[in-house]
A = this chain, B = another copy of it.
Amino acid sequence: MLALFEPGTSVAGVFTRSTMASAPVDWCRANLERPEDAEGRALIVNAGKSNAFTGKAGAETVKAVGAALAELAGCRRRDVFQASTGVIGQPFPAEELTRHFERMIGRAKPGGVLEAARAIMTTDTFPKVATRTAKIDGQKVTLAGIAKGSGMIAPDMATMLSFLFTDAAIPSPVLQTLLVLTVRETFNLITVDGDTSTSDTVLLFATGKAGNAAIARAGDSRLGDFRDQLQSLMADLAQQVVRDGEGASKFVRVRVKGAESAKAARTVAFAIGNSPLVKTAIAGEDANWGRVVMAVGKSGEKADRDRLGIKFGGLPVASRGGIDPKYDEKALSDYMTGQEIEIEADLAVGKGEAEIWTCDLTHGYISINADYRS
């Protein structure tokens, strides 16, 4: 997938926290070291080989790819952004990509977002696209985004690639602040398997073609609607990634309240959302709330065992440290056959809240991952 942007396009990026970051991640990070000087003119993404853990050969490949694309796009090398997804540890020559550049650039046209989403898929079963509109200071702007990723998904940051585009005029440093804050409340709330990849990349490009007056502070109230719509767009894509989790049959929302802090609530929510026993029970359509108790207990965060409350889809299952008097096995069993499952735990020790999104753990996950080398 190759994208070209007009001169003057702002750009921002957030990347994996893995200490084993891929060569393309290293490349993009270097490009964004000084956000005030960052410009995004070209983006090249390949699926199949991740160029992670490829040593000097990998670094040379991204350098050659960057140089070749910069020349064809008529921009600085540092204005070229790269991302790769696929098998770890297989170096490949730049030529494997560069030989396609002339043909791809010849065919480049506005739009094509759905085709772009398709091009970056690996084990994904559907392309992930979302669009929104917002107003900045009265001027209508458009946002569009694509994402890929269905395994090796966990914060920080969900193993995935996502590319976001807007015609809003927003300087790169402001864009960077908005992106970091919004990743925290969207892509960092998802998990499929608790595994974090070497290649996680989210890039946001802003062409400025909408012609709104540029705004110099991320906190400026005139950006309020844009911030909301960006968050909505990214939450949409994040949830699409989880819905397409490898082998997933159900979307799961885990809400934790009554924790000591928001951070503690998030830790507990992920302990529930990453528990293989909780996830297999959901796959089996079993309202196995005892495993939720287990996950709360193993999280290490403070919780009041004798006042802990648990609900599945609003149906009370546990309260005051035991089974709820209104526990209704029939209603619960019916609820568990649905495709959207909500688990709520009230730790009863404070006011901290969090919500995360995940999926169930099925035979499909095993089949995909015992056979596919990624």
Contacts and interface: CB of A to CB of B under 8 A. Distances in A.
Interface string A354-374: 000000011101110111011
The bracket for how many chain A residues form the interface is 35 or more
Nearest to A277: B195
Contact of A283 (B89, B289, B298, B370): B370
B193 A323 contact: no
A212 interface: no
- Describe A's contact surface by its main secondary structure: loop
Contacts of A293: 20, 52-53, 88-89, 198
A16 to B, nearest CB: 8
Contact of A55 (B89, B193, B197, B321): B321
Interface string A37-79: 0000000000000101111111000000000000000000000
Given A52-B290, A194-B276, A366 B305 contact: no
A21 B305 CA distance: 8
A290 B53 contact: yes
Interface in A317-333: 318, 320-323
A294 B85 CA distance: 13
A295 interface: yes
Interface string A274-301: 1111001101101011110111111111
A290 B55 contact: no
Contact of A19 (B305, B320, B366): B305
A176 B179 CA distance: 53
A367 B284 CA distance: 9
A308 interface: yes
Contact of A369 (B18, B276, B322, B365): B276
Contact of A297 (B196, B280, B320): B196
B197 A294 contact: yes
A89 B323 CA distance: 6
Contacts of A223: none
Contacts of A142: none
Q: Kindly list the 4 A-B residue pairs having the minimum CB-CB distance in the complex, ordered from nearest.
A: A88-B290, A284-B370, A20-B297, A18-B297
Given A53-B305, A87-B290, 4 more contacts: A19-B299, A21-B305, A280-B370, A363-B367
